[in-house]
Chains A and B, each alone.
Chain A
Amino acid sequence: MAKYCGGDARAFHQLYLVVAPRLLGYLVKLARDRSAADDLLQLTFMKVHRARSAYIVGADPLPWIYSIAHRSFIDHARKMQRAAKTFVHTSQHVQPDPDIPGEADGESGDNDQAMLTSTLDALAQLPRVQREAIVLIKLEGKTVSEAAEIAGTTVGAMRVRAHRGYVALRVALEHGPPTEDLEERAP
């Protein structure tokens, strides 16, 4: 990051190679839409590039980059809500996306594949804040405090969101998708 701020474009390419796959995985799990996740990834790196002078030499830039991606996702989600589009798809509405792992072969009959698909569907059913908590802590392997830093919330609130998310996920996996739309319920 320091080399990149010093004007070395190759350093940016290296940063992109290292960070982009992790960030894309995070965004795909959050947005559940490969093309939106791709756009958000590009937007995130554009914002990182434009704000590169905010980098502090010696500091870990990853939580900051994740925060930018998180902010971009929230803005995107709000834009979609304003456009009156259904952001959280029910399994009936989702068309299998060959680019999202676990979706392409959803009807193959394979048990693991079916479990993946149902878990992804259940995850997509969760309110945004709970989905963020589970993706960050359980899937991205962040600690609760790291996840709270990225999402801009307190450690306690992040813990509550993750717990409620687990409970909702368990219910969804045991009983199938709920019939009513889940509201955004920030603790």
Chain B
Amino acid sequence: MSDSDTDSLGALRSLPVPQVRPMSDALERELAMLAPVATRRPTRQLVIVASISLIYACGLVAVLSVRRDVAELPPVWFVSSTILRLLGFLTLCYLALTPRRGTMVHRWKPAAVLVIAVAITFVAFGLLFHPSGPSSLYYGWPRFYRGHHCIEIALAVSALPVGLCIVFLRGAVPVKARWILAAAGAAAGCLGGIVLSFYCRVADGLHVGLIHGGVIAVSATLTALLGHRAG
């Protein structure tokens, strides 16, 4: 910038601070009823969301019953896919609920990157690795539409962690709230994916990739769109 521009901005910077008018009546009325409130504890909220959600997911698996072909699948695939989804769930929950130490501003950039990466990874993972056994089912393209049942189950699993996150984040994220909500939704989608991998015995790549993997993107999108209104 030229000297004159710098001078102009300097003159603006040195302007006297405007006189603040008294607080509005509405604000005064609210202050008259001021009551102590519990402040946010992000780590505690993270522990609450993670533990309640995992207990809920385990309960749902017990109610829905474990897939019949579970013993026929390679344990390495089963364990690695569960651990990956669990890691996705915990990391995304962490990013959604805890701001950087010493600040109140949430890390929406890493959250956004991770949401996209996790959504793509699990679709690709499902398309590439979808082991099956004699008791597994195959839908393929002709019966692909029947996968809506799995999406409904995954969204039912997602509802609890998403609801908890929305309650905990109320008023805490003034900017880029959609990405933070998307992170919460994607985390819940990862949990939904875990439940599906224990419950659903459809083992074709399209179903495992696009439905079981796609629930992360669906849950993230729905949470970003609907949660924004709720929160």
Contact = CB atoms under 8 A, between A and B. Distances in A.
B5 A120 contact: no
Contacts of A8: 34
A139 B175 contact: no
Nearest to B98: A56
B34 A173 contact: no
Contact of A118 (B8, B20, B32): B8
The interface residues of chain B, by DSSP majority, are classed as loop
B37 interface: yes
A12 B171 contact: no
Contact of A42 (B23, B39, B176): B23
Contact of B8 (A5, A51, A115): A115
Interface in B2-30: 2, 4-5, 7-9, 11-13, 15-21, 23-24, 26-27, 30
Contacts of B1: 166, 169-170
Interface stretch (B99-107, B133-141, B155-163): B99-107
A119 B170 contact: no
Interface band, chain A:
35 or more
A139 B34 contact: no
Contacts of A134: 9
Contacts of A56: 39-42, 99, 104
B21 A38 contact: yes
Interface string A35-60: 00110011001110111111111111
A61 B27 contact: no
Interface of B: 1-2, 4-5, 7-9, 11-13, 15-21, 23-24, 26-27, 30-32, 34-42, 99, 102-105, 108-109, 169-172, 174-176
12 contacts: A2-B39, A37-B18, A49-B27, A63-B103, A70-B174, A70-B175, A71-B174, A139-B13, A151-B175, A152-B176, A169-B1, A173-B5
Interface of A: 2, 5-9, 12, 16, 20-22, 24-25, 28-29, 34, 37-38, 41-42, 45-47, 49-61, 63-64, 67-68, 70-71, 99-102, 112, 115-116, 118-120, 122-123, 134, 138-139, 141, 149-152, 154, 166, 169-170, 173
